[in-house]
Amino acid sequence: MGTFHHQMQNSRFELKYLIQEPCARALRDFLRGYLVVDEHADPSNGNQYPVHSMYLDNGNYALYCSTTHGHKNRFKLRARFYNEKPNSPIFFEIKRRHNDVILKQRAGVRRSSIHKLMAGHFPTIEDLVGSDVNSFGPLRNFTALRNRLNANGKVLVSYMREAYVTPNDNSVRVTFDRELQTAAYRGVFSLDAMAIRPVPLGGVVLEIKFTDAFPVWLREMVRVFDLERRPFAKYVTCVDALHKFELMMSPTYQEVIG
């Protein structure tokens, strides 16, 4: 599926909405007048492709709490991948948010280095895919933040994404996310080894991303379809779902409902 490198990796605005499937279909038809299907789309699967992210946090879930408490300046640490092919990279990402502005740093890492880096070791150039020296700074920043927080792998966030982009410059990107799933990280970086569970979404997560001014046609789309912005953090949703499941499986809970 290529490198999944987008020009919008450095800085962008990001707006989120939770919509229902009929609205998603209507929006798709509208968007085709302005955007094209993402190059990684799978036509055999409704132009969707899988996205898997392992989120890191510390024992107190400080990054989770920064979102639930509504901090204006916050960040997330995650290791993102799109398939499990041996030669496909895993991207270590820092996603920072300041109000509606997103700044992202990303480094493609060899799969053979994943467990070493997830365990807290400092990176080397050889850990990078193609020994990309330009990605070494972001990777060192990632490991420095992880070590400062004493963070480690916590929760897998997995979903199917349908994406549309501007034809030439990728200055606008609109995505529809469905089929959210999650699993607790147990030290093995393999989907087959994780007890993955579906997480109810209550709709389709629509994300509108743009680099400069909010385009007039996008503003009109939001007005015509009466879209109402709302926060929706997939990481928070998955942590809550896992904690609820663990509570339901606890002996105390079983005694109460028994």
So what's the pLDDT on residue 252?
42
pLDDT at 135 over 60: yes
| Assigned domain for 44 exists | yes
So what's the pLDDT on residue 2?
45
CA distances (Å), origin 243, targets 104, 248, 251: 28, 9, 14
- For residue 187, name the pLDDT band (cuts at 50, 70, 90): confident
Residue 102 belongs to a domain with what CATH number? 3.20.100.30
| Assigned domain for 84 exists | yes
**Would you state the structure tokens that stand for residue 37, as one six-digit string?**
């299907």
pLDDT tens digits, one per residue of 140-185:
999 999 999 999 999 999 999 999 999 988 789 999 999 999 999 9
Mean pLDDT of the chain: 88
Q: Residue 214 in 3-state DSSP?
A: coil
Q: pTM, whole model, 2 decimals?
A: 0.88
So what's the pLDDT on residue 212?
81
Average pLDDT, integer, range 203-211: 95
| Residue 147, domain extent | 7-257
Q: 8 vs 107, which has greater pLDDT?
A: 107
So what's the pLDDT on residue 254?
40
pLDDT tens digits, one per residue of 26-39:
999 999 999 999 98
Closest by alpha carbon to 111, among 91, 125, 93, 94?
91
pLDDT tens digits, one per residue of 71-87:
888 999 999 999 999 88
User: Do 167 and 35 meet the contact criterion of CB atoms below 8 Å apart?
Assistant: yes
| Assigned domain for 1 exists | no
pLDDT at 257 over 60: no
Domain count, the chain: 1
| Assigned domain for 41 exists | yes
So what's the pLDDT on residue 249?
55
Average pLDDT, integer, range 98-103: 85
Say which DSSP state 126 is in: G
So what's the pLDDT on residue 189?
85
| Helices and strands per DSSP (H, E), number in the chain | 7, 10
| Assigned domain for 161 exists | yes
| Assigned domain for 2 exists | no
Read off φ and ψ for residue 113, nearest 5 degrees.
-100, -5
